[in-house]
Chain A
Amino acid sequence: QLQLQESGPGLVKPSETLSLTCTVSGGTIRSSTYYWGWVRQPPGKGLEWIGSVYYGGHSSYNPSLKSRVTLSEDTSKNQFSLKLSSVTAADTAVYYCARHSGPFSSSWFDPWGQGTLVTVSS
């Protein structure tokens, strides 16, 4: 059974870079079928897609975050990562990693990780 687990610092200072890693177990990220995505949920708000990375390095991003987001994969560790630069308090959220297939318009996120809370504060 495929499982995803987020990890990274729970506290990031304003203007710095948020870095999270998602470790995949029970399957490989070296797949030509699946994308590996990030979704966040700020406190009291809805979910927001951040972006997704595909084996081989191809990435797609939410236009609203694209200028600050970098996605990458490490197939040797079966992990994929998120970097979000120049963070502000508005980036405080629970961050989830999840798998989906393509094409995007007809795929869905499943499974998801349990999420990790990242707080942006000095």
Chain B
Amino acid sequence: QSVLTQPPSASGTPGQRVTISCSGSSSNVGINYVYWYQHLPGTAPKLLIYRNDQRPSGVPDRFSGSKSGTSASLAISGLRSEDAADYHCAAWDDSLSGFWVFGGGTKLTVL
């Protein structure tokens, strides 16, 4: 069972706006940055959002991240077929000696 909680699936039609949630705790999301990765099985995961809401160069502004308290969200607007992928959230957890924690991943289907 993953430390961060994500819905296992999400879906939308082309052009729609979809949000994916990521719930953590006071030792991870509550006090540290959240990161989002896009992953097509069989390929290398790709950094999508860093430090809660920052987009790396080359990531379309259709993708946006936000964080409030112990929860974070990834929003995808103007949904496109190529957005169909698995999305994973991550954060550093300050408990024990500290370690990275991830969500279970959300499979996004574009209908």
Having A46-B2, A46-B4, one finds 10 other A-B pairs with CB under 8 Å, namely A45-B104, A46-B104, A47-B88, A47-B102, A105-B32, A105-B33, A105-B92, A108-B50, A108-B90, A109-B45
* Contact residue among B33, B44, B99 (Cβ-Cβ distance under 8 Å from A49): B99
With an 8 A cutoff between CB atoms, is B111 at the interface? no
- 22 pairs from A and B in contact (CB 8 Å cutoff): A39-B100, A39-B102, A46-B104, A47-B45, A47-B88, A47-B105, A49-B99, A49-B101, A63-B96, A98-B45, A104-B92, A104-B98, A105-B33, A105-B94, A105-B98, A106-B51, A106-B92, A109-B37, A109-B45, A112-B46, A113-B44, A115-B42
Nearest CB of chain A from residue B39's CB, rounded to whole Å: 8
Q: Chain A residues near B99 (CB, 8 Å)? A: 49, 60-64
Least CB distance from B59 to A in Å reads 11
Complex interface: chain A residues within 8 A of B4 (CB):
46
- What's the minimum C-beta distance from B86 to chain A, rounded to whole angstroms? 9
Residue B18 interfacial (CB < 8 Å) = no
CB distance A46 to B88 under 8 Å? Answer: yes
Chain B interface size range: 20 to 34
* In the complex, residue of chain A having the shortest beta-carbon distance to the beta carbon of B56: A110
B43 proximal to A (CB < 8 A): yes
B63 within 8 A of A: no
A106–B98 CA distance with the chains assembled, in angstroms: 13
A111 within 8 A of B: yes
Interface: B103 (CB within 8 A) = yes
Total number of A residues with any Cβ neighbor in B under 8 Å: 25
A residues lining the B interface (CB < 8 Å): 4, 39, 45-49, 60-64, 96, 98, 104-106, 108-115
**For the complex, is B68 an interface residue (Cβ under 8 Å from A)?**
no
Q: Which 10 A-B pairs have the closest CB atoms?
A: A49-B100, A46-B104, A105-B92, A46-B2, A47-B102, A110-B47, A112-B44, A63-B96, A108-B50, A112-B45
Asked if B47 contacts A63 (CB within 8 A), the reply is: no
Chain A min CB distance to B107 (Å): 11
- B89 CB to nearest chain A CB (Å): 9
